[in-house]
Structure 1
Amino acid sequence: MEGFPILSLMLLVPLAAAVACLFVDAKAARTIALIATLVDLALGLVLWAGFDVGGAQWQYVERAPLFAGFTWALGIDGIALLLIILSVFLMPICIGASWNSITKRVGEYMAAFLLMETLMIGVFAAQDLYLFYIFFEAGLIPMYLIIGIWGGDNRIYASYKFFLYTLLGSVLMLIAMLWMVNQAGTTDIPTLMSYDFPAQAQTWLFFAFFASFAVKMPMWPVHTWLPDAHVQAPTAGSVILAGVLLKMGGYGFIRFSLPMFPIASAEWAWLIWGLSMVAVVVTSLIAFVQHDMKKLIAYSSVAHMAIVTVGLFSFNVQGLEGSMMLMLAHGLVSGALFLCVGVIYDRLHTREISRYGGIALNMPKYAMLFLFFTMASIGLPATANFVGEFLSLAGIYQVSSWAALICGTGIILGAAYMLVLYRRVVFGAQVNADAAAMPDLDLREWLMLGSLTLATLWMGIYPESFIAPMRQDIVKLEARLSPDAPQGDSRLVMGDPQPTEEVQAHEGAH
């Protein structure tokens, strides 16, 4: 595949399909969207199969000068590869989730999703700073339309809140980008990742980027747009929002903030740890008292992404690898939980937990898969979340034992609210006749949830297949960060254990 513009093709396929969907009827639009997303999934698998683990850091590089110094520059490393694979894997599932539930303006709906796929891949593949910004910000538009047109009763409020929150921080990021290009004389992202910006300027640049990425994650206290967006979005909108769009914030930290501003990142790491600790505890407690299933899972997403941020700012290999694994795992598990909510919402048209109960009797297959994803969300060993959470907490323990302790409580609190949710929905007496009459999963729903089940088990049982492509990228990033990494309070020394003075004295006596 050397020399073949596979990344440009992956951008072109959904974009062309999006245009086609605008000019056909609903049935044809669904078919075109499904075929286009499956083609992109196949191209993604080719991308993964051809990626040379241990080879050059940047592969599948494409460069073409366009106009006024603007360059069409694409390329991926192992980190970008895995996030692109996550995106193309979830998109056919999103189209399948919308197959029957979306009945109005179907062509426009499918076009919006396909356009979003193009922009998501573009964010992870862009190697030009301005090109990245265009893809990053344009991704707001289709999601804004999906929530605002096909969302729930309060969709206009939620869509405006989503748009304004995410746009505000990005204005500051653009100003910082303009200064960086003027300072470094290039828009090339790989070059900027190794450029040493002045120490006094790094703080301002760090916070300008932080304003955008913190909202995207989202971090506490700028997370309040997320529950509203999830509740009002259609099921597929929630899947892609939790599965991929939140990961753009984490990708921004690992691609820009950490390598480009290492001094400021280390200096302000305490702020990230503090916000993340608050987020884990507060949002978990808020999730515990929710009556709406979607809102509960939305708050759990904030808690999980807080563990991602402490892993990212642990400045060591374990934490960085763990945060990446947890981002991928959360994309699968959280997306699957929103699908589980969508399955019963399509039957009963309510997300109120109290309206269900005892559905294990009439929906045993659904109850089985819902239990699996509930346990995966908690971090059951042999599932994807366990690997990411374990590595992230092991990483942060090396620099802050308090952060590890408090963030570790999120696992306990997560088990509490997720198991209570499952018990109230699936077990107990069947007090509502309409819930007791709901049919079990059909073939389409089996295929969607089954594919997510296999992927979640694969990540949990054999994580090396996901860690291997990004290993050398993580090691290079850790080497870039290590000179400025903060001293930890855990007094944990990696490497061979050193004998204590008592042992040395005892050995000397003999």
Structure 2
Amino acid sequence: MVALSGLIWAPLLLGLLSWLAEHRQRGAGNWVSLAGLLLLLLLSLYLAAMGESALSLSWFARFNIHFALLYDGLAQLMVVMTILLAILALAVSWQEIDRRQGFFHFSLMFSVAGINGVFLAADLFLFFLCWEVMLLPMTALILIWGHENRRYAAIKFFIFTQVSGLLMLIAIIALALFHQQIEGTLSFSLAELQHLDLPGESQFWLMLGFFVAFAVKLPTVPLHTWLPDAHTQAPTAGSVLLAGILLKTGAYGLIRILLPLFPEAAMNFAPVAVTLGVISILYGALMAFSQTDFKRLVAYSSISHMGFILLALFSWQAIALQGAILTIVAHGISSAALFCMAGMLQHRLHSRELGNMGGLWTSAPRMATMTLVFVMAGIGLPGLANFNGELLSLLGSFAVYPAHAMVAALGIIGSALYGLQLFQRAFQGPPGKEVQDLQGRELGFCAVMVLALVYFGLQPHLLLEVSAASLDKLVALASFSEVRP
């Protein structure tokens, strides 16, 4: 289906159109980008209604590389979330960006194109290309529109992602050569490579190349150090994209590529992976509790929440995998929401330090109420989306790694400590500085995020039904690997 490629090419064209429109009239880029993202959303929903679809066009025939796309339930979920959070990033930065607005809109749409490519790619060469493409506009967002130490944060982000990406490229090329050696032809097709019978040691080292790349993006301790700096220095739109979408590309890579391609090696590596997940949960919570910078606190909390996803995926139980999917979506909403609140406070106070806040509930009760809901979601309050994800992740992992699951549960206590501390220091206490409360546009997108957290908290089966086919294949693959001699 040729329309499927529109999810990649259309954002690039719309980004160029927004850039040109902004040059002709100030503020026009906002409206062109918004209209373009809404059209992309309609296209993605239309394709989802049509059911699973695929596209494969010969690209570099000499190397058997194809422009191959797959739009199944899991990809549908990730693409729709990408577009919705891109709309949120645009809405929260509607008045925040005061220079080079045209190029900002192009960078935002360029990011959407690269991320959609990652979620749709069914050819590993195309996957790697989109993986690198999404790095460039995100680096630009941090470097050009970031805050005081943006240059350091952008370079660090670029180096971490680039080096780990090169390890993945080496693994991809090695896989293609193994396919040529065994089957007689080069292949980068994800479907064909899943049937490749690799020697155990080779499978382990190739798996490790992919794991490092995905663990950096997730991120997992000790490969996490780029994240707090990138989040803190990025503009609000950049933080929304980073927390809501880019971190999820690492989880998606584990689900779509690493586990299906290397099931036996992944099972052997699972004790190490789940241990790293638990360490990330506890370390992220402890570091979040010690922060005085609003954005840096939320950044470390993301490391903690992503640890639950790693724990769930490598437990490789049906319930745990469902928990990982729910956590991906729930964290995408709640963390993006908290970064929106941090950005709006910084725009008003010109500071991210919690010590410069306090007592803001008096002058901004609507902002305080919304923030409280987002904090409660991050804590895992029953009835909100995050609770379901973390509960299923722990239940599923407990069946295989009970000690790890019990220790990981301490991270929920940690999230309550740093979450409540964040809210108390920012909004409670004696009246402090007066800030403008949420206005129409801000109140609108905050209300939508609250409704989303409540809706998916009460109706999690809607997300699980969309991704059920992809998860069933993983569970079946795990069962096959266990009984394989």
TM interval, shorter chain, is over 0.9
Determine the structure 2 residue equivalent to 1:236: 237
Which runs of 5 or more residues in structure 1 are unaligned? 52-58, 487-510
SS of equivalent residue, structure 1 residue 290: coil
Does residue 193 of the first structure (1) align with residue 188 of the second (2)?
no
1:433-487 CA distance string (max 9 Å, x none): xx22x1111111012111211211121110111100211221111111124459x
AA matched with 1:63: S
AA matched with 1:342: G
In 1, distance between residues paired with 2:342 and 2:228?
14
Does residue 481 of the first structure (1) align with residue 478 of the second (2)?
yes
Conservation of the 8 A alpha-carbon contact between 1:283 and 1:303:
yes
Determine the structure 1 residue equivalent to 2:182: none
Does residue 377 of the first structure (1) align with residue 378 of the second (2)?
yes
In 2, distance between residues paired with 1:203 and 1:348?
51
Does residue 182 of the first structure (1) align with residue 177 of the second (2)?
yes
Determine the structure 2 residue equivalent to 1:56: none
Determine the structure 2 residue equivalent to 1:65: 58
Comparing 391-400 with 471-480, greater Cα deviation is found at: 471-480
AA matched with 1:279: S
Determine the structure 2 residue equivalent to 1:112: 107
Determine the structure 2 residue equivalent to 1:44: 44
In 1, distance between residues paired with 2:78 and 2:132?
18
SS of equivalent residue, structure 1 residue 359: coil
Determine the structure 2 residue equivalent to 1:204: 205
Determine the structure 2 residue equivalent to 1:166: 161
Which of 440, 443, 447 lines up with 1:446 in the alignment? 443
AA matched with 2:447: G
Does residue 340 of the first structure (1) align with residue 350 of the second (2)?
no
Does residue 127 of the first structure (1) align with residue 128 of the second (2)?
no
Which of 467, 470, 475 lines up with 1:470 in the alignment? 467
Equivalence map 1:178-327=2 (5 Å): 178-184=173-179, 185-327=186-328
AA matched with 2:41: L
In 2, distance between residues paired with 1:289 and 1:89?
32
In 2, distance between residues paired with 1:311 and 1:172?
24
Deviation of 1:48 (Å): 3.0
Conservation of the 8 A alpha-carbon contact between 2:274 and 2:315:
no
1:247-293 CA distance string (max 9 Å, x none): 11111111111111111111111111111111111221111010100
Which structure features the higher share of helix residues? Answer: 2
Larger Rg, first or second structure (1 or 2): 1
Comparing 440-449 with 107-116, greater Cα deviation is found at: 440-449
Determine the structure 1 residue equivalent to 2:422: 421
In 1, distance between residues paired with 2:19 and 2:366?
37
Deviation of 1:360 (Å): 1.2
Deviation of 1:204 (Å): 0.5
In 1, distance between residues paired with 2:325 and 2:373?
22
SS of equivalent residue, structure 1 residue 428: coil
Deviation of 1:321 (Å): 1.2
In 2, distance between residues paired with 1:351 and 1:122?
34
Conservation of the 8 A alpha-carbon contact between 2:65 and 2:187:
no
In 2, distance between residues paired with 1:485 and 1:142?
42
Comparing 344-353 with 16-25, greater Cα deviation is found at: 16-25
SS of equivalent residue, structure 1 residue 65: strand
Determine the structure 1 residue equivalent to 2:458: 461
TM-score by length of 1: 0.90
In 2, distance between residues paired with 1:64 and 1:206?
27
1:334-371 CA distance string (max 9 Å, x none): 00010111121111111000111111111111111111
Which of 127, 135, 141 lines up with 1:140 in the alignment? 135
Conservation of the 8 A alpha-carbon contact between 1:315 and 1:482:
no
Equivalence map 1:9-20=2 (5 Å): 9-20=6-17
Determine the structure 2 residue equivalent to 1:504: none
Deviation of 1:13 (Å): 2.1
Q: Against the structure 1 CA distance between its residues 453 and 6, is the aligned structure 2 distance closer, same or farther, given a 3 Å change threshold?
A: farther
Determine the structure 1 residue equivalent to 2:35: 35
AA matched with 1:481: A
Which of 12, 19, 22 lines up with 2:19 in the alignment? 22
Q: Against the structure 1 CA distance between its residues 261 and 168, is the aligned structure 2 distance closer, same or farther, given a 3 Å change threshold?
A: same
Which of 151, 155, 168 lines up with 1:156 in the alignment? 151
SS of equivalent residue, structure 1 residue 147: helix
Count, aligned residues: 472
In 1, distance between residues paired with 2:196 and 2:32?
44
Deviation of 1:22 (Å): 2.9
In 1, distance between residues paired with 2:220 and 2:188?
28
In 1, distance between residues paired with 2:177 and 2:150?
41
Deviation of 1:200 (Å): 2.1
AA matched with 1:93: L
Conservation of the 8 A alpha-carbon contact between 1:147 and 1:234:
yes
Equivalence map 1:342-361=2 (5 Å): 342-361=343-362
In 2, distance between residues paired with 1:212 and 1:104?
33
In 1, distance between residues paired with 2:423 and 2:464?
31
In 2, distance between residues paired with 1:342 and 1:200?
47
Determine the structure 2 residue equivalent to 1:83: 78
Deviation of 1:31 (Å): 1.5
TM-score by length of 2: 0.95
1:110-158 CA distance string (max 9 Å, x none): 1000000011111101111111110011111000000001101100000
Conservation of the 8 A alpha-carbon contact between 1:6 and 1:60:
no
SS of equivalent residue, structure 2 residue 20: coil
AA matched with 1:357: G
SS of equivalent residue, structure 1 residue 22: helix
Conservation of the 8 A alpha-carbon contact between 1:360 and 1:367:
yes
Comparing 369-378 with 184-193, greater Cα deviation is found at: 184-193
SS of equivalent residue, structure 2 residue 223: coil
Aligned-pair RMSD on alpha carbons?
1.4
AA matched with 1:60: S
Conservation of the 8 A alpha-carbon contact between 1:197 and 1:260:
no
SS of equivalent residue, structure 2 residue 400: coil
In 2, distance between residues paired with 1:140 and 1:15?
15
In 1, distance between residues paired with 2:197 and 2:326?
28
Determine the structure 1 residue equivalent to 2:183: none
Which runs of 5 or more residues in structure 2 are unaligned? 180-185
AA matched with 1:164: I
Determine the structure 2 residue equivalent to 1:96: 91
In 2, distance between residues paired with 1:463 and 1:163?
35
Conservation of the 8 A alpha-carbon contact between 1:61 and 1:76:
yes
Deviation of 1:70 (Å): 2.9
In 1, distance between residues paired with 2:225 and 2:244?
18
